Amino acid sequence: MNSLSEVPLAYYLLLSGVLFACGVLGFLIKRNIIAIFMSIELMLNGVNLSFVAFAAHWHALSGQIFVFFVMVVAAAEAAVGLAIIIAVYRTRETLNVDQINLLKL
């Protein structure tokens, strides 16, 4: 097996870490609530990659199953979260999180 056909596990973990860090950064600096929500999805994706890499590393498929559950939770989260965003927009008419800081109208 030549060296081109294998990728060190550390590379996958690094990529996953970089994606997660980008997600955290987006969560901090973004002010649009939809963009913040997308940063959360980015973090979930970064974690998923490390799950799959570890599954391949330890030859255990259960790591992949975990990713399925993460996807299901992400789908549920997206549905409810976007519904909340629509409801918020309907009452506040803004998507800027700095202006959505009151519990009453």
Partner 1 sequence: MLHLPLFLIFGAICVAGAINLLVQRHPINSALSLIVVMASLAVEYLLLGAEFLAAVQVIVYAGAIMVLFVFVIMLLNAGEEEHTQGSRVALLLGVPGIAIGGVLVAWTVLRHSNTEAVALGALPGPPKDVARLLFHDFLLPFEVTSVLILIAIMGAVVLASKPGAIVRDRRPEPAQEEKRELAAVGKER
| Contact call for residue 92 and partner 1 (CB under 8 A) | no
| Contact call for residue 104 and partner 1 (CB under 8 A) | no
Comparing CA positions, the residue from 95, 93, 91, 94 lying closest to residue 103 is 91
For the beta carbon of residue 19, count every other beta carbon within 10 angstroms: 18
Hey, which residues between 2 and 61 contact partner 1 (CB under 8 A)?
A: 2-15, 17-19, 21-26, 28-32, 34-35, 37-39, 41-42, 45, 48-49, 52-53, 55-57, 59, 61
Nearer to partner 1, 86 or 103 (CB): 86
